[in-house]
Amino acid sequence: MTDRVGNGNVTSGVREGDRLWSPSAERVEAAELTRFMRWLALERGYSFPDYNALWTWSVDDLEGFWSAIWEYFDIISDERPESVVIGEGIFDAKWFVGTHTNYAEHVLRHEAKAEPGETALCHSSEIRPIAQMSWQDLGGRVRKLATKMRAMGIIPGDRIVSYMPNTPEAVIAMLATVAIGAVWSSAAPEFGHKTVVDRFSQIEPKLAFVSDGYSFNGKVFDRRDDVSAIVNALDHLKHVVWFDYMGFGCALSTDAEIISFDAMIEGPPVMRETFQYERVPADHPLWVLYSSGTTGLPKAIVHGHAGMIAEHLKVMALHCNLGPSKRMFFYTTTGWMMWNSVISALITGASAVLYDGSPVHGGVDMLWRLASDTRTTCFGASPTLVDNMKKAGVRPGKSFDLSAMDMVLLGGAPATPETFQWFYENVAEDFWVNSQSGGTDLCSGLAVGLPIQPVYAGEIQCRGLGIAMEVWNEGGRSILDEVGELVVTRPFPTAPLGFWGDDSRSRYYESYFGTFPGIWRHGDLAKINCRGGVYVYGRSDSTLNRFGVRIGTAEIYRVLERVSGVKDSLIICVETDGGGFYMPLFVSLDANTTLTDALRKEIVSRLRVDASPRHVPDEIHAVPEIPYTLTGKKMEIPIRKLVMGMDVDKAASRDAMAKPAALDWFIEFVRQRAGR
């Protein structure tokens, strides 16, 4: 199965860059990307010998490539684009000028093509068994809800917010909002009210969809008090749609009109032929997503309809190979951009698989049971979640029928070579392990999968079509086979329209373009190799600097995953007086493990041998728990700021944390260190 062609570090029998899998000729032939390349040759006269040649054309000729995407996927608009893109710079580029489109229309156009009863959504939760919703049911409920929202006075441009779990009701609410040209924004019900108000108050919503609570790992959470605090803090709110998910009932006291979700989708059908989607200009807001907000007010990131339609059709069909008969699952909540990505699978005609609850409710292998029962074809999860399964000894391929599955999608954090190998050893030998990297900023991927080429351990297969991604050194020069800053040098259609309320666009410019003027600096430390594969090593603003050498935090975590007794870890590096550096390592340990001198020596030895002497920390400390954001990111930067002496309220927001108490140990650590 493994043809060793890599030249990376060696651990556990697999090296960074080892070839783990190659697609069969039949898979390549059936890939949507292959069909697209044939179409380009037939319709446009463009013939490319390989993917790298196709990619080079796609970034050199943005007009030609994105017009081909528009035509190939038959994007619906009242008119063809006057210009695909105007402007050479990302910051001020204008996309698909003159068009009027609607994202929801492109999702629900598959209703007309679907067989009666054909599945659009598979869904379940801790309190609901697995069920299915057909394209006809989904479209019908969206039209009813959208029509009633219009009757309530919701007009294009109004902001609509959601505090709902990952259920079909949330999908219906999102599509109905978008269908009438209103602007969608979502937070998950596990978010505390202050975190939600920090987000939603920026955009002044007119209507809110809210849920009474949720269940996680068998425990029921009543969120009615949080809902009340949120609703009463939003001064512009006129309507509240109440989703009685847990059966607690509505207990709101507010001046806003309150109506039940069920009432909003009742009544006579609204026929597909008579319903009018609100087709809006390309720069009309589609949705607002938010940065993590761990060190300040979250950025309210605005995306547009036309750019997101074109990008999601491209990435989901060509890079994820999704389409009718496929089913996509990714473990997420409604507060993370991956929820939007799961719903975007529908734009290809694929089904979306939803789950609300703990990933280990009923057993650590619960998600694999769900994948088997729903006949999921694309299984998605973060590498951290997968590594926990690996440590628990889960062997999904032996326990479940996963014969429908042909692809795994890893996202949310860098995936190690060992994580790749685990899938081939424990799930199936012949399937596609697809790692991607992008983020909330663009609600898509920069480095993505490629169904027609081999999988190499730890390596993201390629740069996305139409994405002029490079890696630059500190001098602003493009480099290969070296670690540097991940940048994008030419316009791409899902660059944010801006941040809500940032009328001067100064905060937007400072966030992405301040380091290399006019060039998008994504904030990741990465490497591109000579075949076009990509490695991401973590956030560049949490880069470790050891004796002048930049080290990605993922390099440390990869080694520590193999140290028995170490459950999780976090490492930072801070500058000290006199130009030195201080690099402490924090580890959380298994229940029956303590940080002995022997364990310290083993950690140091593993890092020295499996990585390098520069990877060895100055100190190792045991902590009760590693702090994470609500969206599952390790809080490296806030902890670094805390250790550097920043006030805790400025360094980290507890409201943006999954477990706020995890910060307490670090506060005491800094206090004691300051008293030395």
**How many other C-beta atoms can be found within 10 angstroms of the C-beta atom of residue 672?**
9
Beta strands in 225-364 (DSSP E): 239-243, 257-260, 280-281, 285-290, 300-304, 327-330, 351-356
Name 580's bridge partners: 576
Q: Are residues 386 and 410 in contact, defined by beta-carbon separation less than 8 angstroms?
A: yes
CA–CA dist 51, 64 (Å, integer)? 16
pLDDT for 413 beyond 90: no
State the amino acid at position 97 in one-letter form: V
pLDDT recorded at residue 294: 59
CA–CA dist 665, 590 (Å, integer)? 17
| Residue 400 per-residue DSSP state | S
Average pLDDT of span 623-631: 89
pLDDT for 65 beyond 80: yes
pLDDT bucket at 562, cuts 50 / 70 / 90: confident
CA–CA dist 209, 244 (Å, integer)? 11
pLDDT recorded at residue 575: 75
pLDDT bucket at 5, cuts 50 / 70 / 90: very low
pLDDT recorded at residue 569: 94
| 81-97 tens-digit pLDDT | 999 999 989 999 999 99
Average pLDDT of span 580-591: 90
pLDDT recorded at residue 549: 64
Tokens encoding 435: 């790692």
Alpha helices in 433-552, H assignment, sequence order: 506-512
CA–CA dist 653, 655 (Å, integer)? 5
Q: What angle do CA 110, 207, 135 make, to 5 degrees?
A: 15
Question: 462 by DSSP, 3-state: which?
Answer: strand
Q: Are residues 203 and 288 in contact, defined by beta-carbon separation less than 8 angstroms?
A: yes
pLDDT recorded at residue 9: 37
| Sheet bearing 584-589, strands edge to edge | 566-571, 584-589, 619-622
Tokens encoding 332: 């997420």
pLDDT recorded at residue 676: 60
Q: How many residues are recorded in the chain?
A: 676
- Domain 107-321 CATH superfamily: ANL, N-terminal domain (3.40.50.12780)
Q: Are residues 241 and 264 in contact, defined by beta-carbon separation less than 8 angstroms?
A: yes
Question: 72 by DSSP, 3-state: which?
Answer: helix
pLDDT recorded at residue 253: 85
pLDDT bucket at 63, cuts 50 / 70 / 90: very high
Alpha helices in 354-414, H assignment, sequence order: 366-374, 383-391, 396-399
Residue 131 phi/psi, 5-degree rounding, is: -145, 170
pLDDT for 535 beyond 90: yes
Burial of 271 (0-12, 13-18, 19+ CB in 10 A): exposed
pLDDT for 603 beyond 50: yes
| 210-244 tens-digit pLDDT | 999 999 999 999 999 999 999 999 999 999 999 99
| 393-407 tens-digit pLDDT | 899 999 999 999 999
pLDDT bucket at 111, cuts 50 / 70 / 90: very high
Residue 467 phi/psi, 5-degree rounding, is: -110, 110
pLDDT for 78 beyond 80: yes
CA–CA dist 332, 419 (Å, integer)? 19
Lowest mean pLDDT among 80-84, 160-164, 409-413: 409-413
pLDDT recorded at residue 652: 85
Average pLDDT of span 557-573: 90
Does the domain spanning 541-674 belong to CATH 3.30.300.30? yes
Q: Are residues 323 and 451 in contact, defined by beta-carbon separation less than 8 angstroms?
A: no
**How many other C-beta atoms can be found within 10 angstroms of the C-beta atom of residue 456?**
26
Average pLDDT of span 285-304: 86
Q: Are residues 355 and 329 in contact, defined by beta-carbon separation less than 8 angstroms?
A: yes
Measured on CA atoms in the order 289, 291, 294, 295, is the torsion positive or negative?
A: negative
pLDDT recorded at residue 300: 96
CA–CA dist 131, 108 (Å, integer)? 20
CA–CA dist 588, 663 (Å, integer)? 13
Question: 422 by DSSP, 3-state: which?
Answer: helix
Q: Which helix (H) or strand (E) holds 672?
A: helix 664-674
Residue 454 phi/psi, 5-degree rounding, is: -65, 165
Listed ranges 246-260, 289-303, 332-346; the one with the highest mean pLDDT: 332-346
| 238-276 tens-digit pLDDT | 999 999 999 998 888 888 999 999 999 999 999 999 999
Average pLDDT of span 49-56: 97
Lowest mean pLDDT among 2-11, 164-173, 571-580: 2-11
| Residue 228 per-residue DSSP state | H
pLDDT for 539 beyond 50: yes
Domain locations along the chain? 107-321, 541-674
pLDDT for 3 beyond 70: no
Tokens encoding 89: 């710079």
Q: What is the dihedral of CA 641, 642, 647, 648, to 10 degrees?
A: 120
Average pLDDT of span 119-141: 97
pLDDT recorded at residue 7: 32
CA–CA dist 619, 583 (Å, integer)? 7
